[in-house]
Amino acid sequence: MTKENTMRLLLLSWLLVRGWVQAEEAAVEAMQEYLMFSEYEAGIILPNQIDQTVFETATFIDTRDADQFDAAHIPTAINIEWREVLDRIDEIPESGLTILYCNTGSLSAQAVFALRVAGRDNVVVLQSGFTGWQETAAYKP
């Protein structure tokens, strides 16, 4: 390898690393901005808030794995595992209330956070998850 090619390779490597660092900084900045300007209860919905009107107008996304979804889920729910929400973001509505849930709300909360940082402000996590919906939802068809 010539000295000129070595220099080109080093420059290209530096540019790639610099781009990665800038992208990482932008992601951290977006997360900080979201956290600083969110209201305390932004991004959540309680099972007892899901009345018939909410149920019939919201999109439900079950973020559990396919086996759990197949065993039982909220009627009309779409199954998108929590770690796939950004890969499958085009399947998630950009408007209208979209409620994500898992068994208890912890994994779906991570999915909602990722989607909100990605710019989706219409997504909320079902606090207490599928278990809470079964126990205290205001409306269950």
Q: What is the DSSP string of 26-52?
A: HHHHHHHHHHHHS-TTTTEE-GGG--H
Contact, 103 vs 132, CB < 8 A? no
Contact, 63 vs 108, CB < 8 A? yes
Q: State the pLDDT at residue 14.
A: 46
Whole-prediction pTM value?
Answer: 0.76
**Which pLDDT band holds residue 15 (cuts at 50, 70, 90)?**
very low
Mean pLDDT for the chain overall: 84
Question: Would you say residue 36 has pLDDT above 90?
Answer: no
Separation between Cα atoms, residue 43 and residue 108, nearest integer Å: 11
Q: State the pLDDT at residue 37.
A: 57
Q: State the pLDDT at residue 42.
A: 65
Separation between Cα atoms, residue 12 and residue 27, nearest integer Å: 23
Residue with the bigger pLDDT between 119 and 81: it is: 81
Interacting residues of 61 by C-beta distance below 8 A, sequence separation 6+: 77, 78, 79, 80, 85, 92, 98, 99, 100, 101, 108, 111
**Which pLDDT band holds residue 117 (cuts at 50, 70, 90)?**
confident
| Amino acid residing at 28 | V
Separation between Cα atoms, residue 110 and residue 7, nearest integer Å: 42
Q: State the pLDDT at residue 71.
A: 98
Residue with the bigger pLDDT between 101 and 34: it is: 101
